[in-house]
Structure 1
Amino acid sequence: MEISAELRPEITGGKMSILALEMMAEQGSAYPLISGSTFMVLGWFVIDRISEQETTFFADGTPRAISFSMSLKRVDDSLLANIIDEVAGFI
């Protein structure tokens, strides 16, 4: 699955949000993909790849817009079951 989006640092997340996603990708762990409108978990995914492009800059050179895309790989149900069991153990 490929997701593309644009961040506007003065309104939404900025470089720190991209860095957080890059750290998640480096860990190779599965994370839930949650719908922003229904808050339903759409599945568990591993981040395979992230690319970004900074555009439209402020006078000081910081980006006013950061376009990014990331490639997600859905994990299998057995891994999902293991994760749910681990989370349930904390509750």
Structure 2
Amino acid sequence: MLLALGTFPFGIDTLAHDELQRRTSWRQATTPRIGARDATQFVGPGEETISLPGSVFLEIADGSVSLDELRRMAATGDAWALVDGLGYIYGAYVITGVDDRGKHFLPDGTPRQIDFAIELLRVDVDPR
């Protein structure tokens, strides 16, 4: 298992992401000053997002089933614990986007390759 979001495991047999991009920001309030830079005050953490792009191949796993499961999870609006394969806990995340693109189709329209991207947003709630 590469990563788990709630009960959904990212791995070779489901969805193996090619990279994990994490962005963390902090909020600074500003007040204009004459003849000087704006005054700033730290007001707390900002958004923390994770992007998981990757590709899944029909010969290895049926990615459409896994993507449908992630869409079902996103539709609940619930936050899910995000944990990597080494046990590091990233925190509670909601799914804000699931993108996919099918390529190299079989005669019945089934894509042999699906490129995907999952977008997650950290929230301050108890994860499931």
Deviation, structure 1 residue 51: 1.0
Report the structure, 1 or 2, having the larger helix content: 1
Number of residue pairs the alignment of both structures matches? 79
What is the SS of the residue equivalent to 2:58?
Answer: coil
Describe how 1:10-89 pairs up with structure 2 within 5 A: 10-36=59-85, 38-76=86-124, 79-80=125-126, 83=127
Point out the structure with max Rg over C-alpha. 2
Which stretches in structure 1 are left out of the alignment for 5+ residues? none
Letter in 2 for 1:44: A
Task: Kindly indicate whether structure 1 or structure 2 has the higher relative contact order, using CA contacts under 8 Å at least 6 residues apart.
Answer: 1
Identity of matched residues, %: 33
Question: What TM-score, normalized by structure 1, do the two folds share?
Answer: 0.73
Letter in 2 for 1:63: P
Measured in 2, the distance between the counterparts of 1:21 and 1:13 equals: 13
Which stretches in structure 2 are left out of the alignment for 5+ residues? 1-49
Report the structure, 1 or 2, having the larger strand content: 2
RMSD: 1.8
Segments of 4+ moved more than 4 angstroms: none
Deviation, structure 1 residue 10: 2.1
